[in-house]
Amino acid sequence: MGQSAKTILLVDDSPSELALMNATLKKRGYKLVAASNGEEALEKLTKLKPDLVLLDVILPKKNGFQVIRQIRTSPETRHLKVVLVSGKSLDTDRYWGLKQGADDYLTKPFTGEQLIAAVTKHL
């Protein structure tokens, strides 16, 4: 695993969603860090400089859209790959998520294969 392991920040307020993503991605050798709200996500982002963020939209403190706008306006993080992960599955939700600056939009519930595909595509 060593130095080459990519770091992924998982941001979700649901412990079961975090556990699911963690279990799926850990097997692939990724280094995983979790945050359960928007403010914690931004804090960890600055410290850890992950390679990818899997970001829930509905979050306490700061929602996913607020977090992604902050990511995109900071010179240190604007290049970061962000995949929004949401239970909001309407085309307008997806459109709005991508318009906020997301690189991709994954709708819950998703399969392990869909998660791996989204991660692989952006790393």
pLDDT in tens, 82-104: 999 999 888 999 999 999 999 99
| Banded pLDDT at 75 (limits 50, 70, 90) | very high
Instruction: Look up residue 93 and give its amino acid.
Output: D
Cis (ω within 30 of 0) for the bond into 75? no
Q: Is the pLDDT of residue 2 over 90?
A: no
Q: What is the mean pLDDT of residues 11-36?
A: 96
Q: 111: how many CB neighbours lie within 10 A of its CB?
A: 9
DSSP conformational letter for 97: H
Q: Is the pLDDT of residue 1 over 60?
A: no
The structure's pTM equals 0.94
Integer-rounded Cα Rg, in Å, for the chain is 13
Question: Which domains occur in the chain, in start order?
Answer: 7-122 (3.40.50.2300)
Q: Is the pLDDT of residue 10 over 50?
A: yes
79: which 2 tokens? 């290049």
Q: What is the pLDDT of residue 3?
A: 47
Beta bridge partners of 53: 9, 82
DSSP conformational letter for 32: E
C-alpha–C-alpha distance, residues 76 and 72, integer Å:
9
